[in-house]
Amino acid sequence: MSHKKAVEALNRTLQDLRSNTDVMGGIVVLLSGDFRQTLPVIQKGTTADEIKACLKSSILLNKVIKFSLTTNMRVHLYNDINPGNYANTLLKIGDGRLETDAEGCVKLTRDFCNLVQSHSELIASVYSDLTNNMHEDKRLCERAILASKNESVNKINSDI
């Protein structure tokens, strides 16, 4: 999510460029995302600093028209037998309503995601039979491994 100051700077820039004091210079600006997923990164900041930096704390928020998507298309398109369970678990995680252990970690079950013990097992699960399928562009484009740290990305890329 963008820092609120970046969005407020965009607002002032558009007002200047368009010589219009209306919000965003009078044009429609579409911002999309899920406030539950990411907060702005504030180096050496506290949780309170992150909350103060988020768009929800901006003076512009009362000028925003919020639209909510009601269908989880990723779940819907895969014709999952239990799309409601998957979607509800995602919402519980996002809302902080899922039980955590003593360290504050969420325990995910096998019916929610594929659990693996190593990078090699993850690679085998996502890119099964990679040696024979490495030239199938469509198949490769439908798969990805996401990691939160560059160190993990570099290790996985090296292993692949």
Sorted by where each begins, the domain ranges of the chain are 4-63, 114-160
Q: How far apart are CA 151 and CA 74, in angstroms?
A: 28
Phi, psi for 125 (deg, rounded to 5): -70, -45
In the predicted structure, residue 54 carries a pLDDT above the cut 70:
yes
pLDDT at residue 3 in the model: 87
In the predicted structure, residue 30 carries a pLDDT above the cut 80:
yes
Are the C-beta atoms of residues 86 and 122 closer than 8 Å to each other?
Answer: no
Predicted model pTM: 0.53
In the predicted structure, residue 80 carries a pLDDT above the cut 70:
no
Q: What is the pLDDT of residues 101-150, one digit of tens each?
A: 888 888 887 777 778 888 889 888 888 888 887 788 888 888 888 888 89
Residue 2's nearest CA partner among 87, 61, 68 is 61
